[in-house]
Amino acid sequence: MKRLPAILVTGGAGFIGSCFVRQQISRGDVRVVNLDSLTYAGNLASLDFARRDPRHVFVQGDIADSQLVGELLAEHRPHAMVHFAAESHVDRSIDGPANFVMTNVVGTVQLLETACKYYRGLSESARRQFRFLHVSTDEVFGSLGAEGVFHETTPYAPNSPYSASKAAADHFVRAFHHTYGLPCLTTHCSNNYGPYQFPEKLIPLMILNAAASQPLPVYGTGANVRDWLHVDDHCQALQRVLERGRPGECYNVGGDCEQTNLDVVKAICGVMDELRPRDDGSPRSSQIRFVADRPGHDLRYAVDCTKLRTELDWRPQVDFHSGLRRTVAWYLTNADWIETVQGGEARLARRGVRAA
């Protein structure tokens, strides 16, 4: 029986990475070698059927372990590497920026060096097919005012340790393409939401706090604006970039759905009122509490996806309000997953206040 082609995915047990792995396995025509160190935000419980499928090979390890990565590349001979592995929470980066430098910058550079060695050893036809896809964020571009959008050519202006570390990683990916000829692609996504997201992020945190009748902490006035993208749409876009993207290029991925943080929280409250009303009948919005703003909190993100739409024929398919409703319902019916990823610890306490 002919061996299926392989993709090496880093960080494939995290929120976005696990969605990408599930989509790849469901396609049925590829093997996924999944390298993840299983930090707090990565968990095999997020891989459900994929972890039991013979086309999915899970390896616990660090992207900075060049020997391990080299062995995986030599054994499985992937035609692509998709790099999700990263520290990703802004509040955590405020408390401990060095961890973000080590994983997002140093780890990415070491991964790129190992990828280059593998790439140089491929046949000419295999080199034409090979791709290194780096999954980044729109936060590298900084903050927008009331008008305008981020383009792929927008100058970088990161304002948090997290976004600074991702910006540095982006620059190294670009440098490895131009200096060593590694066929790299970079994507900049807007805020993702959907099932399996670690509960420290805005949407799952508000869902779980609302369900537990706890305060719903909204930073500042809640006027900060984000463009929301369902994780399924994001991973479909990544597949399109892998298939059709031009090496050396960057592609913005957004949901074309700008919402203030306060409007998102109110929308969650509305769905919760319907799916799990409070015993006294009072609205969940009464749990909203305004708290001190995050240090260096960017006002607004919005991305222009024209390049992805016109060149690669991709468009988001999930409407925000239906996607949000499905997301709320998922968290309300998956208490076992929540308990597993939280490890029984009280992980919902606020972080990122050290600089305040």
pLDDT tens per residue across span 183-219: 999 999 999 999 999 998 999 999 999 999 999 999 9
**Please, which pLDDT band fits residue 154 given cuts at 50, 70 and 90?**
very high
Average pLDDT value over all residues in the chain: 94
User: What's the DSSP call for residue 296?
Assistant: T
The pLDDT of residue 15 is above 70: yes
The pLDDT of residue 346 is above 50: no
pTM: 0.94
**Please, which pLDDT band fits residue 1 given cuts at 50, 70 and 90?**
very low
**Please, which pLDDT band fits residue 341 given cuts at 50, 70 and 90?**
confident
Catalytic residue, candidates 36, 62, 91, 138: 138
Q: Is 124 left (phi over 0), alpha (psi -120 to 50) or beta?
A: alpha
* Mean pLDDT calculated for residue range 46-62: 91
Catalytic residue, candidates 119, 162, 196, 251: 162
Catalytic residue, candidates 36, 87, 91, 139: 139
How many Å apart are CA 64 and CA 58, to the nearest integer?
17
pLDDT digits (tens, 9 = 90+) for 164-183: 999 999 999 999 999 999 99
Kind and range of the H or E element at 330?
A: helix 320-332
**Please, which pLDDT band fits residue 278 given cuts at 50, 70 and 90?**
very high
**Please, which pLDDT band fits residue 354 given cuts at 50, 70 and 90?**
low
Is residue 138 among the annotated active site residues?
yes
